[in-house]
Structure 1
Amino acid sequence: MKIVKRIFKIVFALISLLVLIGIITLWIDSSGTNYLKITKNESVSNNTYLIKNVNVIPMNQDTVLVDKMVYIKEGIIEKIDDTIVVNGIQIFDGENKYLTPGLIDMHVHVWDRYELGLYLSNGVTAVRNLWGMPMHLRIKEDVIEGNIISPTFFTTGPKLTGSEFIGDDNLNLSNPIEAKGKVISYKDRGYDFIKTYYGLDKAIFDAVIEQAKISEIDIVAHPSQKVPFSYHLNTQIKSIEHAEEIVQQPLQFDLDTIKLQTIIDSISQSKHTSYSPTITVFNNIYQMMMDDSILDSESLEFMNPLIKMDDSKRQFERWFNAKQEDPSTIDRIKNQHDFHLTIVKKLHEAGVTLICGTDGGIGVTLPGFSIHTELAFYKEAGLSNYEVLKTATVNASQTHSIMNQFGTIEDGKIANLLLMDENPLVTLSSLKKPTYVFVNGRKLDRETLDSFNEKAKNRKNLIATAFRYLENLIIEK
């Protein structure tokens, strides 16, 4: 009995020590992102002003409203007109630059708060995180309460999968009752959406859909191979993720445009469903096979260090070995990427609402920076600059009712905006480095935005990230 008590004390001491180390590590990491914190005085002093001499790209129509004034009141667009007279507030000169809605990345994986600054630096003023963990609920709360400078933050709960897709990154469901319970729990705890993933059979999928409707929470679907692809066109599912899933599931890797058209037609008949192609993350497979030194590249210095050490390395080794075993793999991946462009073109021609998502934060897909690669691919697929910009503004904002307050420059919308030297309807690349980013009306100049990049570069928070992921495993599994 004494031995048992002694072992218990030792185990308890070790657990207590681990908890203490975790708390200290997380506190140190949190202090590293103090540059994103907002004091109470700052939160109300920087979001009311008048912008003059600015060309407005409203994105509710394909036009430029030349030489306008925009009145921002407490972070909300109050009025847009030729002349606005408001006494006693700051006047900000737009210097004949171009004002657009901020970009929205509809498919990201956030691992730390440094990434919030990377998104803002690249003009992304709202994100939809699609791999929810407890840390994301804390980020969301801090954003809502105005404690931190951040893109507007939305998140799904943990990924819901079938029982056979074992992995610490999956929430494995075994029966419909359990599925309904998870939907109820995620809604009650504050997650914004449900994410369905691989392996959900009809009975479990039906339960998720049924409870999501009752709980009034939207579903984001990474298609499950256990049900027909058309099953994901249910009215409760607001977006389907990944062009590659069309190739892998209904087409069974047959890059046949005639067969593709049948699938496109079925998607187009579902007027409530948006599609997020995430072309960039698949193209990065090709980039990894073409560049043997990609893990040591300067761009990868912006990745979370735990992801870079684990996921980036594993993905690189997988595809490096694949091309070593079969060099034709390179052409196969490139051909599939090109086919993804065809998918985007045909979805667009069929009237399907396209929304921009990058899968940023995993593999070698950089948070923030990758949205410009994604938008360039849509341009390559044949969309006009206006149509491309819609995917990351008005289209994205209309996917979920809780996002309707973004995406256009209109009276009453939240002032998530970008100010650029050049017109992105002419030069799409002007979106890469906006002169100013406005988030909830707060003005961030280029110097501040560049400092966000520098703070995130080569950050040393591997252990802190591991502790947050451990917390996820303890709470969610």
Structure 2
Amino acid sequence: MTALLWLSLKSQSDQSGVDMRLFAKTVVIGFLSLSSAIQAQSIVLEGVHLVPMTSEKVIHNQRVWIERGRISRIESMDNPAGQKADLYIDGRGKFLIPALSDTHFHQHRNSIEDTKLLFKLLIANGVGTVRTMAQWNEQDTIAIRQWAAQADTIAPHYYASGPQLNATNVKNVADAVAMVDMHQQRGYDFIKVHGNLDPQAYLALLERAAFYKLPVTGHAQRHLPLQYTLRMHSLAHIEELVVLLAGQQLQIPKVTPLELNDMVQQVKTSGITVTPTLSILALIPEYTDEKRYLALQKKYESQFIAYGEYLWFTNPDNPSYQSAFFKTPQMKKYIADMIQTSARLTKALSDAGVPLLVGSDNLGFHIAGFSVHEEMQQMQKAGMTPYQVLKAATADSARYLGRQALAGTLEVGKNAEFVLLAANPLLDISHTKRIEGVMHKGRWYNRAALDQLLSDVAQARQAEKTQPQ
């Protein structure tokens, strides 16, 4: 969750000359009109424009073979098909990209049923991998990870962080060591730091985590020099760097190019990975302006918000972005300056070659799945190229999570985890929203199947309104 809130998702011809591939395609089209995902041993995408993410290029008019959930062959459509497949998918004029990742995902409610709905939103938006960034009370992200890994579960590949660590549950060195030991014993993938820790406790936590090779991620240590924060494995929000530039006051001074360059060089030298989470920042002004807030609630994506979350965020008495605190002139200017400086810093880090990830920090009307596309658009708006943004969401995220051998690029031998788009995302990253189909866990979800996932969630959210909260 953004730190600001804490301030107050072939064939062959038969003897009669009939082209059996065309016949097979006709049959397949009939199947693809169904609203459920299709699983087949062998699948072929034909005529697709490949965006492999091994470099900034598009390979046109390709045939992609999938055998038992893996990419087995990629070839030009000029080559004879040679063998038959169980399922043919017409990809003519469409673009194929690796599945997307959200490295800053939250399931805010405690119900497993709610988590299932969030997972459907993720798959429907082409998000095949997530890293959850907190285990809330009454949640068990290890159990969720085990459930998500089942072959028949509609769920992304899931990486689990433990409970958020702050000054209330890590008060001293002994607490820090015990907390890291607990993470190791339970098998969490990441340790999440949220808030300032006692300096000695923080250093002890990093040392113990290094002993177990457990990556530590999270918020900056705002009360300490930048170098302390840069000892972590990754940083959860770029706004944390802006705060370190500006100090603790609700005022962001004009950052000089020299100051900006000095920070960028320190970040680059440290080797830390940064998740900008620009989109959650950019959404705050939508809450604090009455007309824009009404329009926000009427957006298509807003129908998918959990009703309990809707009630919390629409109540101005709660410490949400709707509270009076965020509507003061001082706070509005602070947020505007934060948005501008965060975008500027994102561009500078990208230009310097600092590894960036796509993480949406889905929260309130920033809906899981859709929020990933919003984040990518904000990164492009900050000055990154569409290729740089897409690489952060695919190849770079896969490497960060240790999945580079299986995912992140479209190559022979890798998992068939991809998204079929109606337009080229290297021209405009917003084209990642024009999804025609998704391949995940060996299942092909055509547009009708994806729409059914969305319909399932919309109906469930509507039903929540009749239940006691």
Measure how far apart 1:428 and its partner are: 2.3
RMSD: 2.7
Are the structure 2 counterparts of residues 313 and 113 from structure 1 closer, same or farther at C-alpha, using a change threshold of 3 Å? farther
Change (3 A) 1:62 1:143: same
CA distance in 2, matches of 1:297, 1:88: 44
Question: Percent of aligned pairs with the same residue?
Answer: 25
- Which of 311, 319, 322 is matched with 1:309 structurally? 311
Q: Secondary structure at the match of 1:401?
A: coil
**Residue of structure 1 aligned with 2:189, choices 188, 192, 199:** 192
Whole-angstrom CA distance in 2 between matches of 1:94 and 1:87: 17
Query: In the superposition, relative to structure 1, how do residues 74 and 184 fare at CA in structure 2: closer, same or farther (>3 Å)?
Result: farther
Q: TM-score, normalised by structure 2?
A: 0.81
Q: Deviations over 1:350-387 (max 9, x none)?
A: 11111111101x23321111222211111112222111
For 1:375, what is the secondary structure of its paired residue?
helix
Query: Which of 323, 335, 338 in structure 1 is aligned with 2:337?
Result: 335
What is the aligned partner in structure 1 of residue 394 from structure 2?
Answer: 393
Structure 1 residues 323 and 440: alpha-carbon distance in aligned structure 2, compared to 1, 3 A threshold? closer
Q: 1:171-210 alignment to 2 at 5 Å?
A: 172-210=169-207
Match of 2:225 among 222, 228, 240: 228
- 8 Å CA contact 1:305, 1:460 repeated in 2: no
Structure 2 match to 1:15: none
Change (3 A) 1:275 1:218: same
Tell me what 1:436 maps to: 437
Q: How does 1:289-308 map to 2 (within 5 A)?
A: 289-290=288-289, 291-293=292-294, 296-298=297-299, 299-308=301-310
Say which is worse superposed, 392-401 or 402-411, in terms of deviation.
402-411
Rounded to whole Å, the distance in 2 between the matches of 1:193 and 1:463 is 37
Q: Corresponding residue for 1:98?
A: 95
Structure 1 partner of 2:287 = 288
236, 239, 245: which one pairs with 1:241?
A: 236
In structure 2, runs of 5+ residues without a counterpart are 1-35, 109-114
1:30 corresponds in structure 2 to none
What residue in structure 2 maps to residue 118 of structure 1? 121
**Quick one: structure 1 residues 76 and 391, their matched pair in 2 at CA, closer, same or farther if it must change by over 3 Å?**
same
Structure 1 residues 123 and 202, CA gap change in structure 2 (3 angstroms): same
Q: Distance in 1 between matches of 2:356 and 2:467?
A: 36
Kindly provide the amino acid, as one letter, of the partner of residue 128 in structure 1.
R
Residue identity in the other structure for 1:406:
A
Could you tell me which residue of structure 1 aligns to residue 264 of structure 2?
264
Single out whichever of 216-225 and 112-121 deviates more from structure 2. 216-225
Higher percent of residues as helix: 1
Structure 1 contact 132–191 (Cα < 8 Å) conserved: no
Residues 187 and 86 of structure 1, relative CA distance in 2, 3 Å threshold: farther
Q: Aligned to 2:339, what secondary structure does the other structure show?
A: helix
- Kindly indicate whether residue 127 of structure 2 is the aligned counterpart of residue 127 of structure 1: no
Contact 1:76 1:440 in 2 (8 A): no
After superposition, the C-alpha distances for 1:270-327 in whole angstroms (9 at most, x for unaligned) are: 23x2111101111221111123436743543312222222256466765551365x43
Is 1:138 aligned with 2:140? Answer: no
> The residue matched to 1:285 in structure 2 has which SS?
helix
In the TM superposition, what is the alpha-carbon distance from 1:48 to its structure 2 partner? 3.4
Q: Deviations over 1:107-144 (max 9, x none)?
A: 11124210111112222111111012534333311221
Question: Structure 1: how far apart are the matches of 2:243 and 2:310?
Answer: 26
Query: Measured at CA, do residues 396 and 463 of structure 1 come closer, stay the same or move farther in structure 2, by a change above 3 Å?
Result: farther
Pairwise CA distance, 1:398: 1.7
How many aligned positions are there?
412
- 1:250 paired with 2:245, answer yes
Residue 322 of structure 1 is matched in structure 2 by 325
Residue deviations 1:136-188 (CA, integer Å, cap 9, x gap):
3333112212131122111211111113xxxxxxxx11222332222232233
Change (3 A) 1:64 1:103: same
Uncovered stretches (5+) of structure 1, i.e. residues with no partner? 1-41, 164-171, 467-477
Once residues 275 and 201 of structure 2 are traced to their aligned partners in structure 1, the CA distance between those partners, rounded to angstroms, is 24
Q: 2:462 & 2:207 partners in 1: Cα distance?
A: 43
Aligned residue in 1 for 2:33: none
Cα distance change of structure 1 residues 404 and 197 upon mapping to structure 2, 3 Å threshold: farther
Structure-2 residue corresponding to 1:73: 67
The aligned residue for residue 154 of structure 1 is 159
Give the equivalent residue in structure 1 for 2:7.
none
Shift of the 296–365 alpha-carbon distance from structure 1 to 2, 3 Å rule, reads closer
- 2: CA distance, partners of 1:328 / 1:43: 50
Contact 2:277 2:360 in 1 (8 A): yes
How far, CA to CA, are the matches of 2:438 and 2:321 in structure 1?
Answer: 38
What is the rounded CA distance, in whole Å, between the counterparts of 1:205 and 1:110 in structure 2? 26
Q: 1:475 maps to which residue? A: none
Secondary structure in 1 aligned to 2:400?
coil
Rate the CA distance shift 1:420–1:352 in 2: closer, same or farther, 3 A.
same
Moved more, 326-335 or 68-77: 326-335
